[in-house]
Amino acid sequence: MSRAVLSLGSNLGDRLACLRIAIEAVRPALVAVSSVYETKPWGVEDQPDFLNAVCVVEDPARDHWAWLRVAQSAEQSADRVRELRWGPRTLDVDIVTVDGVSSADPELLLPHPGTPDRASVLIPWLEIDPDAELPGHGRISDLLARLSPADREGVVRRPDLTLI
Ligand SMILES: Nc1ncnc2c1ncn2[C@@H]1O[C@H](COP(=O)(O)OP(=O)(O)OP(=O)(O)O)[C@@H](O)[C@H]1O
Ligand SMILES: Nc1nc2c(c(=O)[nH]1)N=C(CO)CN2
């Protein structure tokens, strides 16, 4: 059984439609999907706000590399072009964790190293799995509590937007 946590983000074009492309790509394997959140950009701050969400997926036939291929194919379907690191994009699908797999391969770092610092991942993930742990880092509720109030307040639920 392979269970993965995926983080979805978009800040270009029809952002909600782009997140839905990612959801459609994993729909048969979907276990849970968070609400959609409007989030202040981190990394490169001078860019439009993102929509972010997190989903949990499960498929006995897929290993972590297969989840990466699914993620990259969804990004391509959303016409993603890579221009700037941490810059604007139609769709970003990150593999946050897969079971307890740890990987130092730069093509697939697991758990995703940015996770402990990103309220835009931790808040949606906590919504759908309040007891979740990030392997090697502990409970995600504790990770979130360590972030600054400004980081947490930059992530606002958008109940008017739905993914499924
Ligand atoms: N856990 C992971 N999930 C998705 N891509 C990963 C992961 N680990 C490494 N990568 C690699 O990262 C590259 C994509 O980087 P990308 O342009 O999406 O980075 P970014 O979104 O700007 O930054 P960040 O990875 O910090 O979110 C791909 O080549 C992919 O192979
Ligand atoms: N709030 C937020 N900021 C970002 C995001 C993102 O998904 N959400 N993704 C980035 C590129 O990986 C850069 N900055």
Asked if omega into 135 is within 30° of 0 (cis), the reply is no
- Atom 16 of ligand 1, residue of closest alpha carbon: 85
- Atom 11 of ligand 2, residue of closest alpha carbon: 86
Question: What domains can be seen in the chain, in order of their start residue?
Answer: 3-157 (3.30.70.560)
Kindly report the number of other CB atoms within 10 A of residue 133's CB atom.
16
Q: What is the pLDDT confidence band of residue 1, given thresholds at 50, 70 and 90?
A: low
Helix (H, G, I), strand (E, B) or coil at 14: coil
pLDDT in tens, 50-96: 999 999 999 999 999 999 999 999 999 998 777 788 889 999 999 99
Query: Closest Cα partner for 54 from 152, 107, 123?
Result: 123
The ligand whose atoms approach the alpha carbon of 38 most closely is 2
State yes or no: ipTM above 0.95.
yes
Tokens at 117, concatenated: 């610092």
Torsion angle of C-alpha atoms 18, 19, 21, 22, degrees rounded to 10? 140
Q: What average pLDDT is seen over the chain? A: 96
Which residues have C-beta within 8 Å of that of residue 29, sequence separation ≥ 6? 57, 58, 59, 62
The ligand whose atoms approach the alpha carbon of 75 most closely is 1
- Atom 13 of ligand 2, residue of closest alpha carbon: 86
| Residue type at position 109 | L
pTM more than 0.95: yes
- Rounded distance between C-alpha atoms, residue 85 and residue 43, angstroms: 9
